[in-house]
A and B are shown apart, each in its own frame.
Chain A
Amino acid sequence: MVTVMELYQLLPKTNCKICGESTCMAFAVALLGRKRNISDCTPLLEGNFKKQKEKLEVLLLPSAGAEETGMIVHPELCTGCGNCVVACPVDVANDPRGAAIGCAPTNDKVIFKVVDGKVMASNIKECRRFGKNRVLCYACIDPCPTGAIEFV
């Protein structure tokens, strides 16, 4: 998974603010979080940065092609705090004696688990954003302190 630093290294690093962010580092964070596009950085579109721009496009490609359900987890942003594990209503319903009460998940029916300090999502088809009775659930996005989960 690509890191903020890798993206930053490819930016002009002039902190020109044209993109609307206060520094190139802030822009790199926004790029990673998909809040900005490469094209927001106009200096990058000019001649000398052609190679860097192409590299950036390649780096940002994998997460653009998210899971078919559209969920992207950015492991490099995740601190493994487990807020999403405990807050997701599917985890609460499927694991009332584990995830629901703040304990380690006790079965494999939960969507979120923390492995090696980072969250891993499975059973995504169970997510309330999909299926016939879908609802626009934010219960994993809102409690995440680092913006590590998003839907595209």
Chain B
Amino acid sequence: MATCPGCALLCDDIDVIVENNRIKETRNACRRGAARMKGCFNRLAPSIAQKPVDIESAIRKAAEILKVAKSPMLFGFSNSTCEAQVKGIQLAKKLGAIIDDTSSFCQGLLIETIFQEKFRTCMLEDVRNKADVLVYWGSDAQDSEPRHLSRFSYFPRGESRQRGYEEDRIAVAIDVRESNTAKICKGHFYRIQPKGDREFILALTDALSGKVPAYEPKKILELAAILKKAEFGVIFAGIGLTYSIKEDMEILVALADKLSNFHIMPMVGHYNMRGFNENLFKETGFVNRVKFEGKAVQHSPAEVLDTPSRGVTLVHDDKYSIVEALRNESIDALLVAGSDPLSSLPRSLVRHLASIPVICIDPCVTMTSKITAVTIPCAVSGVESGGTAVRMDGKKIELSKIIESDYPTDEELLTRLMEAL
């Protein structure tokens, strides 16, 4: 059995048939996972200024860039093992650098709220065994985590849900469009206006408190009745929801307080984004947007934390998110590991990205790697190297090394980079 690193569901029931050190066939992995496990379309090669070099020279050049940078940033790690993430955080500390990941523009706030224990949450196995009301909110699980509904949330029979989805479970979708997930939630699809989540949450909170909701009262009251009856409910909160409510997590906390049988689970795409959030949180008390400054760590919005016990201070500030750092042109070197910011950032921000030296550590050619000063290829984690990762619900899962590879792991590369400094 192998684990699929295709998304944060980290399916660990995959069979693989290996022939000549290549994965010939996968079983049980979805299409996305199968493609991921079969490797890159285009393997990254080590290069400096887009000219081929050996890995050692690329590492030396990367160290040089980071050493002279006044305000370097480390970004990514959502597709890296926990071991590599810990190394990345150490490197940021050593450099006095900013460190951030994709969660600063997607699920970070929600995950932080969960770490702060403001929500009840649960394991996916609990969902399978106990859940009777499932709410996919701003998340098209069917598309982003293709086996979510079949492995855990809706279709399987569970200990106290022996009759499965037909009779024992109700699936609800709240979204701006009728996604593939919404299609499965037949009869329980609530369409909202773009950015209408806030209004919907407030109306639903009203309905649950016995007030007549200000907005679409009939539908909201009907939904409130379904939620109230739940024995074990789960809200799968996707980026649609978190994008829309942003800093206003408190309204979701207030809604959750009204739903005493409900649990909230963040829907995570990249296979180990939650791992990064967890590792950084352990180290700094924040899940992203952190700057280590001399002996201090900064996080954004600015909160200076003195952590004398560890001999460091940190600052957390919005200006340390990749988006703000690029917008303010406040960084002068960027190391990207296991992420492709160029493919997901707005074009207006790419200009600064293109004007500073970027170092890219990745197994595959990405849009980002095509514009970078230094590229350093690594092994495909979960296929060519093992390690651990954190599933979307927080469970630690072992990744599998399925085939041999000459490429160093991202953890090794970061260690060597630190030595070269």
Using a CB–CB cutoff of 8 Å, the interface residues on chain A facing chain B are 78-83, 85-87, 92, 100-105, 113-118, 143, 145-146
**Which of B13, B25, B33 has the most A CB atoms < 10 Å from its CB?**
B13
Q: A81-B30, A87-B165 are in contact. Are A146 and B156 (CB under 8 A)?
A: no
Q: A102-B150, A113-B27 are in contact. Are A80 and B34 (CB under 8 A)?
A: yes
User: Which single member of B15, B143, B155 contacts A83 (CB below 8 Å)?
Assistant: B155
Do A145 and B142 have beta carbons less than 8 Å apart?
yes
Do A80 and B30 have beta carbons less than 8 Å apart?
yes
CB contacts (< 8 Å) of B181 on chain A: these are 145
User: Which single member of A81, A87, A115 contacts B146 (CB below 8 Å)?
Assistant: A81
B87 close to chain A: CB less than 8 A: no
Do A103 and B142 have beta carbons less than 8 Å apart?
no
Do B180 and A80 have beta carbons less than 8 Å apart?
no
CB contacts (< 8 Å) of B164 on chain A: these are 87, 92, 100
Do B156 and A86 have beta carbons less than 8 Å apart?
yes
Q: In the complex, what distance in Å separates the CA atom of A61 from the CA atom of B191? A: 39
Known: A80-B32, A104-B14, A145-B184. 4 other contacts (CB 8 A): A102-B151, A102-B156, A103-B13, A115-B27
Q: In the complex, what distance in Å separates the CA atom of A15 from the CA atom of B280? A: 52
Do A115 and B31 have beta carbons less than 8 Å apart?
no
**Which of B14, B155, B183 has the most A CB atoms < 10 Å from its CB?**
B155
Do B30 and A92 have beta carbons less than 8 Å apart?
no
User: Which single member of A80, A85, A92, A117 contacts B157 (CB below 8 Å)?
Assistant: A92
**Which of B35, B150, B184 has the most A CB atoms < 10 Å from its CB?**
B150
CB pairs A–B below 8 angstroms (11 shown): A78-B31, A82-B151, A86-B151, A103-B151, A104-B15, A104-B27, A115-B25, A116-B27, A116-B34, A145-B180, A145-B181
Which residues of B in the span 15-48 have a Cβ within 8 Å of any Cβ on A? 15, 25-35
Do B28 and A114 have beta carbons less than 8 Å apart?
yes
Q: In the complex, what distance in Å separates the CA atom of A105 from the CA atom of B14? A: 10
Residue interface mask B132-154, A partner, CB < 8 A = 1: 00000000001100110111100
